[in-house]
Structure formats: structure tokens, C-alpha cells
Amino acid sequence: MLPRVKRFLLGSPLRTTELHEQKLSKKAALTVFASDNLSSNAYATEEILLVLMAAPALLHYAFPISICIVALLTIVVLSYGQLIRAYPSGGGAYTVAKENLGVGAGLVAAAALLIDYILTVAVSVAAGVAAIVSAFPVLLPYRTLLGALAIAILTLVNLRGARESARAFAPPVYTFLVTIYALILVGLYRSGEASGAPPVTAPGDAPNLSQLALIFLLCRAFAHGCVALTGVEAISNGVQAFQPPVVRNAQITMYIMAVILGSLFLGLSYLATEFRILPKLDGSETVVSQIARQVFGVSVPGWGLLYYLTQFSTMAILILAANTSYAGFPRLASILAADRFVPRQLANLGDRLVFSNGIIVLGMAALALIWAFGGNVHALIPLYAIGVFLSFTLSQSGLVVHWLRSHEAGRWWRFGLNALGALTTGLVLLIIAVVKFQEGAWLVVVAVPAVMLLFWKTRRHYFELQTELTLSDFEKPRVARHTVIVPVPIHLNRVVLTAIEYAKSISRDVIAVTVNTGEAKAETLLHNWKKFVEDVPLIVLDSPYRSVARPLLRFIGEIEDLRPDDKVTVVLPEFVPKRWWHNLLHNQTSLILKGALLFRPGIVVTSVPHHLGGTRVTQGREPRHAQ
């Protein structure tokens, strides 16, 4: 049943030879890798305005701050274009930092990116739910549930494969672009009417700020607006997902993404300033919703439809923005797994030629964040961006070292570009770390070293495993004798007899043992044992406290002590029910013993399964001793 459900939800498995068919064109890649970056238009301007509301007289600085952020975007994108050229195999900041600045720097970048990918899913989904709640406030109490549902759908679609997710998500992404560009164009046309409107005042009077306080407030607004740059690095992590020529297609896609992001961000920030939009502190309506409501109206036929289309497309792009993380997180995790810094399972391709385990881990982590923060986007955003700017700085610094070592023509202007990128992103990182620290960014500062510790612990485990299992200096073990122990239930059955015959085939020294809990008489078992088994001794252990596993484990330990030179094998007779839920009807003693013996060195455990359903029971007669 479960395999059929899996095939229905995920589709049929794909051959490894079909991997090239899963490569993405520029148009498809834009929906997969750029949705996070483009979606930040839905909340970046609002984050700037929320900070500036502390001094309403400074709200007009929102547009100049947006220009500064777009200038920073230009530097970062041009710098990452060089990263794609220098490291076309993917891996992004982790690979660049590891090869040029050392393994430690690479792991810092990797930890920061993995954390930021998880935050991207949580923030994007929370913001998408906020967009739809703005249009339908009655849904506000259910935003956590809606967020969880959105993450489940995203995870499922991505498990179906890269091409399928690109096809599924392309219409909402391009619908968002069309509606927001329409909003900006119509808004610019109507801005003349808005410019004559009386100014909207924020609650409270503008405080008198010192020059230092003014600079700090503007820097804080700039830091909050830098969430617009999240997702820029995703393309550099997934270069190999593109159709050939991979470098050229990845670079072009990144430049297109930057142009779209910059124009939308500036357009929305300008309209917010021009229409004197103020963010709602209770989160009941977003800034984009207010702009659309003022530009299109709600009650006007036709225009009202555009308002709701804008809200639904904004919700869709925000939720689909998480898809960038679903493309980047599993790929980065697979590279780390290849280097033995995370579990090997994260490097395995699933049935649909995607890194299924990484996708599932990402979905579960984001779901935990949504639940922990109640789906509140403003509570999540302070945690956001610091990780991505840390990876920006490390990747650009790594490229500076790369070009210094290189003898390639044109290396000096590339060195200058990446040095500028490292300097600017490092400065922004410092600003973000300072102004967001008390708002919750300290959690990320703590989380990065914690994740790095897990990296090193995982690496150390694999190293110790490799050392333990190496063939060098290997001496073939000598087994003088072989003792086989067969645990037997209090009622003899054909499964036990089959296990006894198997045990006799691997050793002449077979011991059967049963536990008498007092709930059933052992005399019947002893009688049947003499009748069906002649050459194997049966030992009965009394258990006054009715435990089965403890006496058996104690007996096995005693045999080990008595025969230290013997190889002890425990043969477990067990039956496999025809239906999965039948397992709930049985006590699972064999499973408990297997789990306990797994951690006993020197013990070999083997099962002799009997699949139920092959023996017919006479109609109307009940088996005498049902297990």
C-alpha cells in the first residue's frame, strides 16, 4: 500500500541516465533559483518603513535607502558572476572559502547558508500567509496552520523532481512579475494625484534625534532592507542544475534576476513614499496590500479584481520563494556529505533524481520554526540576512585570495571587483550584526558555531569509522567454537522449529532458552519439545517479575562469560504479518532483543522470518495457541 501511495504522490522512479533531462533552462531556473530573491519585494520596503516609523519625519528616507541597497545588489551580483566563472562545479561560498581561506572558513559559510536556507523557507511562507491574511483578516488565527500546510505542499512538489517543480511554479512567479509591474506603472501614473494629498502622519510626534541617533536609525533601516538581497547566492550553489553552457546560463539568469529585483524594489519603495504608506504594526495588512488598495482600489469593478490578483500572486511568490531553498539546501548538504561533514544519506539521489533526504530535513526544520514563532513574519525577519551576508563576505574574500594566486589574464580587475564586494558586504554584515543583535540575530550568532560543532563531530565519527574498518594490518579472526542461542516463546510453533533447524545447520552447539513468566505453564512446552525436538536442550528461565527480555539478556551474558573464546550467535524466530497493522497486535519481543543486542560487542544476531498467509486455517477452527 505504502509504495503505491508514494508512486501516486511522487511519480515513478527515474533512471540515473535521465539526469541530463532534469537540467534547467534559464527560464525555468529563474522560477527555481530566483523566486526567493524576487519575493523579497513583498516585505523589504515594509521592513525599512517599520524602522523609520520610530521617527516619522524620516519616512522619506525609505527611497534613498532603497537606492543604496540596489547599489549593493549590483556589486554583489557582479561579484557572484565571477564566482560562477571561477567555480562552475557549484558549492558557492562553501567551496570558495574552503579552498582559499581554509576548511574552518568554509564551514562557517556552509553553516550560515544552511541556517539561512531554513529561515528563508520560514520567512517566505510566513510572509505569503500574511499577504493572504491582509485580504482575508478572518484567517489571522490560522496563519500557523496555513504555513504548515504550505511547507508540506512545497516539500511534496520538490520531491517530485526539479523539472516538475519548475513547471508547477512558473505560472505563479510570472503572474507575480506581471501584476507588480502593472501595480508600479499604474501607481506611477496616479502618483500625481497622491502627491497633492495631505500627508499621512504616524502615531506620535517625530522625536528630536542627535546626529549619532539619526545615523544609527538610518543604518538600522538599511540593515532591515537588506533582506532584499537574500537568495542572490542560490544560483552559485546550483550551477550544475543548468543546461549547458552552465556558466553562461547561470550568469545570465543571475543578471536578469538582479535587474528585475532592482526595478521592482525601487518602484515599490517610491510608491510607498509617494503615497505616504505606513506599515500596520499589528500585521493586519502589508505595505504592498496598502499600495495595491490605493492604486487599484477594491470596490471599483475591474480594478478591484487586480487588487485581489496582486494579493494572491504575492502570496504565491512568497510561498514559492521557499523553493529557492529547496533547490539550494539539498545541493549544499550533498556537497558537505561528500566531504563527510553531514550524514552520508544527504548525498543520495532519490527516486526522482533529487536529494530527497535534504528536502525532507529542510521542510521539517522550517516547520519547527513556523510553529515556534507562531507564523509571525516580523518575529522571524530579525534572524534573517545575517547568515547570507556572512557567506557573501567569506565568498568574496575567498575570491580575492583566488585571484591573487591566479595567473589568468584580467585577474586584476576581477580582484578589484571581488575586493570591493568583500569590503561592502563585510561592512553591511557588521551593521546587520550590531543593529539586529538584540532583536534576535544573536540566535544565529549562537547557531552557526553550534552547527559547525556538529560538522566536526560528524567528520570525526566518519574518520574513526574509517580507521576502525581499514584493511591495513587486518588479521583474520579465528573462531574456535560457535555457540548458537535460540530464544523460544512459551508456546511451541512451526516458526521455532524452523529456526532450530537453521541453528543446527550453522553449529552443533545449539541452546534453546525460554522464559517462564508464570502466566502460562511451561510443562506443555516441555512436553511438545520432547516430541518435536530431540537433540537440542531447552533451558527454562523463571521470571517472577514477568520480564522476558531481561532474563534472556542476562542468560546470553552468562554464556559469553562461560565461553569467552566462542562466537555467540542469537537466532531469533519471528513471523512477518500479512498486514502492517497486524504488528500492533504482537509484543515485538524479537525487535526488543535485536535492539538490545545490537550494542553488545561480539554478539551475532540473525532472524529466521516466517511470512504469515502461506498456511490455510481450517474454516471454523481457531488455532490452539495464538501468539
Digit-coded pLDDT (tens) for 401-457: 998 988 888 888 889 988 998 998 888 888 888 877 777 667 778 889 999 999 999
Mean pLDDT across 108-120: 89
**575/548 same-domain check:** yes
Angle 331-429-121 from CA coordinates, rounded to 5°: 40
Note the pTM of the prediction, 2 decimals: 0.73
Higher per-residue confidence, 250 vs 197: 250
Rounded to whole angstroms, the Cα distance separating 228 from 261 reads: 8
The closest alpha carbon to 540, from 562, 519, 525, belongs to 525
| Predicted local distance difference test score (pLDDT) of residue 381 | 64
Phi, psi of 108 (to 5 degrees): -60, -45
Rounded to whole angstroms, the Cα distance separating 529 from 545 reads: 25
| Predicted local distance difference test score (pLDDT) of residue 204 | 46
Looking at 507-619, list the stretches that DSSP marks H as alpha helix, in order from N- to C-terminal side: 522-532, 549-562, 589-597
Domain ranges, residue 73:
2-12+21-195+209-463
Higher per-residue confidence, 516 vs 302: 516
Does 359 fall in a domain? yes
Look at the chain and report how many structural domains it folds into: 2
| Predicted local distance difference test score (pLDDT) of residue 134 | 75
Question: Do 621 and 508 form a contact (C-beta atoms < 8 A)?
Answer: no
CATH number for position 603: 3.40.50.620
Tell me the three cell numbers of residue 498: 524452523
pLDDT over 90 at 260, yes or no = yes
Pairing of strands 538-542, 509-516: parallel
pLDDT grade for 342, boundaries at 50, 70 and 90: very high
Rounded to whole angstroms, the Cα distance separating 401 from 414 reads: 11
Question: Do 297 and 94 form a contact (C-beta atoms < 8 A)?
Answer: no
Tell me the three cell numbers of residue 110: 556552509
Mean predicted lDDT score pLDDT of the chain: 83
User: Max alpha carbon distance in the chain (Å)?
Assistant: 105
pLDDT in tens, 50-80: 989 888 888 889 999 999 999 999 998 998 8
Q: In what order do the strands lie in the sheet with 566-576?
A: 538-542, 509-516, 481-488, 566-576, 603-611
**431/521 same-domain check:** no
Contacts of 557 (CB under 8 A, 6+ apart): 600
**492/604 same-domain check:** yes
Does 251 fall in a domain? yes
Mean pLDDT across 270-285: 83
Q: Which helix (H) or strand (E) holds 277?
A: none
Rounded to whole angstroms, the Cα distance separating 241 from 355 reads: 12
**381/515 same-domain check:** no
pLDDT in tens, 199-243: 444 444 445 667 888 888 888 888 888 888 877 887 887 787 888
**68/183 same-domain check:** yes
DSSP 531-556: HH-SSS-EEEEE-TT--SHHHHHHHH
Does 259 fall in a domain? yes
Mean pLDDT across 258-264: 94
